[in-house]
Amino acid sequence: MSKVDSGYKVTTKSTVIDAAITVVVWYLFTIWFKPHVMSYEPGTVFFWAGFTALPAAGTFWLCLQMYKVTLAHQRKKEREQKSDD
């Protein structure tokens, strides 16, 4: 059995920070999508723009998690190579 460990540990602090960043990104996507909603009522425009921004923000969350794991694994691999030398 392989002992592959990326070295990345999920903590409450990292999860809260990631959630806050994702909410900011969701809001930015909502602003970006507002001109594309075909309505003149501000509440309706915000609702549909925000609803449309949900999958984009979810994709951002997944990409952020994959990036963090990949970066942690890369750093761990570099440290192991330096310690072998």
Which is more confidently placed, 30 or 2? 30
The whole-number pLDDT of residue 2 equals 46
Report how far apart, in Å, the C-alpha atoms of 6 and of each of 19, 46, 69 are: 22, 40, 6
State the pLDDT at residue 83: 85
Q: What pTM was estimated for this model as a whole? A: 0.82
Task: Give residue-wise pLDDT tens across range 25-73.
Answer: 999 999 999 999 999 999 999 999 999 999 999 999 999 999 999 999 9
Q: What 3-state class would DSSP assign to 31?
A: helix
Contact in structure between 1 and 68 (CB atoms under 8 Å): no
Q: In the structure, what pLDDT confidence band is assigned to residue 8 with cuts at 50, 70 and 90? A: confident
Between CA 39 and CA 3 the distance in angstroms is 55
Of the pLDDT bands very low, low, confident and very high (cuts 50, 70, 90), residue 4 is low
pLDDT over 80 (residue 6): no
